[in-house]
Amino acid sequence: MRLARDSGYVPAWAALASMIIPGGTALGQQDRYPDEIERRIARVETGLLLPTQVRGRPPDRHALETRMRYHGVPAVSVAVIHRGEIEWARAWGLADPDTGAPATTETLFQAASMSKPVAALAALRLVERGALDLDEDIGPYLAGWRIPRGPAAGAAPITLRRLLTHTAGLTVHGFLGYAAGAEVPATFEVLEGTAPANSPPVVAEVPPGSEWRYSGGGYTIVQLLVEQHEGQPLQAVMRSILDDLGMKGSTYDQPLPDSLAARAAAGYRASDRPVPGRWHTYPEMAAAGLWTTPSDVARYMLAVGRWLGGAERGVLSREMTARMLTPGLGSWGLGPSIEGEGIDLQFSHGGSNEGFRAQFIMYPRRGLGAVVMTNSDTGLALAEEILFGISDVYEWPGVTPRQIQALPLSRRAALEYAGRFVIEDAPDIPVTIAWRRGGLELRVAGRPPSEIVRTGADRFTILADGESIRFERDASGRVEAVVAYGTRARREPSF
């Protein structure tokens, strides 16, 4: 499985050490399902799979509660699609740890970049109406603004297809959003990078069509395009589309209306720190502005599957849906990421806003899929583990952890690496590598230990998150440092 490339999470040593494990996750129960489904839910709850597994060993399974605590994720909400319908939805933990409010299946989360494939439907609907063309230069369609071009961008046209597939050569990968009480820019100000916008201007930097380059800025141009052609704000345009999809509990309204605030999860950073004001506002609605639930996202995924199969003519026709799910440069469709073909065709997307992480994956021809939403910056790793667990229970094709070959390591050889290490840019955070239970363990501050396995000469893999770890030796051949998460820690002289 390939997670969408806008939403990776790789902690630095210091960030890893500072994640506080909550004392409890308030695992909750909502709807009760038939026993057969409850058994599958229980298997998922107790069968999360780490993204890296050692070849030849039994699968390394973990309980959801344990992994929520490990990653420091206050709440997670999940919906699972099986046999072409939502088989179950459930939420665990606290939507707002400050108030003690539990998460439920009706709790709203920020979809972050999962907003993009849903918003793309508004532009594709305009194409079907003949108001836009996928492959014409969009310049003449825009009123009051022209896309700036850098010296290396050339003159190739910037088209709607290129905007939707992240191949228009544009800048601005993503957006930070605006804290509660901050002035929020208009769409033109976001595109031009002028105050009060906190992002740089959106500029064509490389020749359009020459490479895949993720751009939230490109989707903000799509937002402007849709708003100008529909004559109303994007959130109003999307209201009718969300209703058609059955996503009646979702909204693109930014800021979130007061009437919905009580249903919304509060975003959390690493170290158990809440996002000030609970969440940020995203005027870049097409790129990052959807508030929703996993069940509503699942309704979008199911609708796309029905359109593709010709079961109904929804927001898009069967033909346009097939075009939307055809991979181009970078294996990206007109909105979602695409993998596989035929019966194993898969579309997916991830999301990463301040304090929120999410991921969905769908096999439209198999009627299989799932959505995972969390209210933490550390939630993407947990979402991946949950999806691997769901895939294992429901026997999805191709969604399996990476397998690595562990090389033999004697106790004598292992002790060459054991010792205490000092992080050069965070000397107050202790790092220890020790021999335990026939192998090496990595301990960072008060975090749970993680086994590290040897995969090459002075190279290991951290099984808890799949990250690589490398040891350095001095001129005499003695281990003097360890490098992981892009940071070096030197060995204390006493070892």
CATH number at residue 170: 3.40.710.10
258 in the same domain as 316: yes
The residue among 316, 389, 354, 377 whose CA lies nearest residue 41 is 389
Please check whether residues 471 and 444 belong to one and the same domain: yes
Cα distance between residue 342 and residue 326, in whole Å? 11
- Exposed/middle/buried for residue 184 (C-beta within 10 Å: 0-12, 13-18, 19+): middle
Give domain status of residue 89, yes or no.
no
Q: Parallel, antiparallel, or unpaired for β 368-374 and 402-404? A: unpaired
Claim to verify: residue 325 and residue 461 sit in the same structural domain: no
Query: The whole model's pTM is what?
Result: 0.91
pLDDT in tens, the chain (495 residues): 555 445 433 446 555 554 444 444 444 457 899 999 999 999 999 999 999 999 999 998 999 999 999 899 999 999 999 999 999 999 999 999 999 999 999 999 999 999 999 999 999 999 999 999 999 999 999 999 999 999 999 999 999 999 999 999 999 999 999 999 999 999 999 999 999 999 999 999 999 999 999 999 999 999 999 999 999 999 999 999 999 999 999 999 999 999 999 999 999 998 779 999 999 999 999 999 999 999 999 999 999 999 999 988 899 999 999 999 999 999 999 999 999 999 999 999 999 999 999 999 999 999 999 999 999 999 999 999 999 999 999 999 989 999 999 999 999 999 999 999 999 888 888 899 999 878 999 998 767 788 999 999 999 999 988 899 999 999 999 999 999 988 999 999 865
Residue 382 backbone dihedrals phi, psi, to 5 degrees: -65, -40
- Looking at the structure of the chain, the number of domains it has is 2
Which of 339, 365, 394 is the endpoint of a domain?
394
- Residue 226's nearest CA partner among 153, 157, 293, 289 is 289
Q: Does one domain contain both 420 and 475?
A: yes
Domain residue limits at 310: 109-394
Roughly what angle, to the nearest 10 degrees, separates helices 115-128 and 216-230?
40
Q: Is residue 95 part of a domain?
A: no
Query: 60 in a domain, yes or no?
Result: no
- The residue type of 339 is E
Helix, strand or coil, per DSSP, at residue 137: strand
pLDDT at 77: 98
Q: Which CATH number goes with the domain that contains 419? A: 2.40.128.50
| Contact between 422 and 444 (Cβ < 8 Å) | no
- pLDDT for 17: 53
381 and 468 assigned to the same domain: no
pLDDT at res. 23: 42
What crossing angle do the helices spanning 64-71 and 379-394 adopt, rounded to 10°? 160
- Residue 35, classified by CB atoms within 10 Å of its CB into exposed (0-12), middle (13-18) or buried (19+), is exposed
Contact in structure between 170 and 218 (CB atoms under 8 Å): yes
Residues 170 and 270 in one domain: yes
For residues 256 and 346, membership in a common domain is answered with yes
Residues 6+ apart with CB under 8 A from 251: 235, 239, 242, 257, 260, 290, 291, 292
Same structural domain for residues 344 and 479?
no
